[in-house]
Structure 1
Amino acid sequence: MDLLIKIIKRFWIINCFGIFVLSACTPASSQEKLLTSKEGNFSILMPGTILEEISTPQKGINNRNWTTLKNESIYSVTYSTFLQQIAPQRIPKVLQILMKTANKTNFIDGKQVSQSSINQSGYNCQDFTLMGKPSTYLQEEIKKKGLNINNKLLYQRSLLCMKNNYAVEAMIITPSSEELKTNGASFIKSLNFKS
Structure 2
Amino acid sequence: MNLLTNANKAFHIIAYLGIFSLSACAPASSQDQVFTSKEGNFSILMPGSIVEEVNTPVKGITTRTWTAIKGESAYTVARSTFAKKIAAEKFPRILQALSEAAKKSNFVNGKRITESSVMKNGYKCLDFTLTGIPSPSLQAESKKNGININSKLIYQRSLLCMKDNQAVEALVLLPSSEELKSKGASFIKSLNLK
TM-score, length-normalised on structure 2?
0.95
Question: Secondary structure at the residue paired with 1:112?
Answer: strand
What CA distance in whole angstroms lies between the structure 2 residues aligned with 1:178 and 1:101?
Answer: 25
What CA distance in whole angstroms lies between the structure 2 residues aligned with 1:37 and 1:181?
Answer: 26
What CA distance in whole angstroms lies between the structure 2 residues aligned with 1:33 and 1:154?
Answer: 25
Question: Secondary structure at the residue paired with 2:183?
Answer: helix
Question: Secondary structure at the residue paired with 2:58?
Answer: coil
Q: Counterparts in 2 of 1:4-83, with a 5 A limit?
A: 4-24=3-23, 26-39=26-39, 41-56=41-56, 58-83=58-83
Report if the CA contact (8 A) 1:28-1:49 is conserved.
Answer: yes
User: How big is the shift at 1:40?
Assistant: 5.3
What CA distance in whole angstroms lies between the structure 1 residues aligned with 2:65 and 2:168?
Answer: 10
Report if the CA contact (8 A) 2:156-2:173 is conserved.
Answer: yes
Question: Secondary structure at the residue paired with 1:150?
Answer: coil
Report if the CA contact (8 A) 1:132-1:154 is conserved.
Answer: yes
What CA distance in whole angstroms lies between the structure 1 residues aligned with 2:108 and 2:57?
Answer: 30
Per the alignment, residue 111 of structure 1 pairs with 111
Unmatched segments (≥5 aa) in structure 2: none
User: How big is the shift at 1:19?
Assistant: 1.4
Question: Secondary structure at the residue paired with 2:151?
Answer: coil
Runs of 4+ in 1 over 2 A off after TM superposition: none
Report if the CA contact (8 A) 2:33-2:47 is conserved.
Answer: yes
Per the alignment, residue 156 of structure 2 pairs with 156
Q: Counterparts in 2 of 1:130-169, with a 5 A limit?
A: 130-169=130-169
Q: How many residues align?
A: 193
Report if the CA contact (8 A) 2:158-2:188 is conserved.
Answer: yes
Q: Counterparts in 2 of 1:90-109, with a 5 A limit?
A: 90-109=90-109
Question: Secondary structure at the residue paired with 1:23?
Answer: helix
Report if the CA contact (8 A) 1:40-1:79 is conserved.
Answer: no
What CA distance in whole angstroms lies between the structure 2 residues aligned with 1:40 and 1:99?
Answer: 26
What CA distance in whole angstroms lies between the structure 1 residues aligned with 2:17 and 2:60?
Answer: 16
What CA distance in whole angstroms lies between the structure 2 residues aligned with 1:26 and 1:152?
Answer: 25
Q: Residue type matched to 1:18 in 2?
A: L
What CA distance in whole angstroms lies between the structure 2 residues aligned with 1:135 and 1:21?
Answer: 14
User: How big is the shift at 1:57?
Assistant: 5.4
TM-score, length-normalised on structure 1?
0.95
Report if the CA contact (8 A) 2:139-2:148 is conserved.
Answer: no
Question: Greater shift after overlay, 13-22 or 117-126?
Answer: 13-22
Report if the CA contact (8 A) 1:40-1:168 is conserved.
Answer: no
User: How big is the shift at 1:20?
Assistant: 2.4
Calculate percent identity across the aligned residue pairs.
55
What CA distance in whole angstroms lies between the structure 1 residues aligned with 2:33 and 2:174?
Answer: 20
What CA distance in whole angstroms lies between the structure 2 residues aligned with 1:92 and 1:117?
Answer: 8
Q: Is the aligned partner of 1:121 residue 2:121? A: yes
What CA distance in whole angstroms lies between the structure 2 residues aligned with 1:82 and 1:96?
Answer: 18
Question: Secondary structure at the residue paired with 2:81?
Answer: strand
Unmatched segments (≥5 aa) in structure 1: none
**Structure 1 132/70 Cα, relative in aligned 2: closer, same or farther at 3 Å?**
same
Report if the CA contact (8 A) 1:109-1:132 is conserved.
Answer: yes
